[in-house]
Amino acid sequence: MKRIEAFYSGRVHGVGFRAATQSLARGFDVVGTVCNVPDGRVHVVAEGAQQELEDFLQAIAESDLAGYIKERSVQWSEPRGDVKGFKIIHEGY
């Protein structure tokens, strides 16, 4: 099991990025969250098997969201086990 924290920048607010990411996550054995960051980025946290996480990130990159993404950064770490399901966080980044 691994954990990723990914930040996406570009035109990622107000285009359905969070909802689309949540929908894509349902196709993988991952749990996590997605939220808008005040600086204009989107923050994705996900935990699961490394291959599932890699495939999830690839699915985002190959989805309709790709046209909105200018840059992506990903940090890998050990899982915390503090999330269940895959949720959109609407406030409180």
18 is catalytic: yes
CA distances from 29 to 14, 50, 77, 90, 93 (A): 27, 10, 17, 23, 24
| Given 3, 11, 18, 80, the catalytic residue | 18
41 noted as active-site residue: no
Left (φ > 0), alpha (ψ -120 to 50) or beta: where does 15 sit? Answer: alpha
Tell me phi and psi for residue 48, to 5 degrees. Answer: 165, -170
- Quick one: which of 17, 60, 77, 61 has its CA closest to 42? 17
**Active-site position among 36, 41, 72, 80:** 36
Active site residues: 18, 36
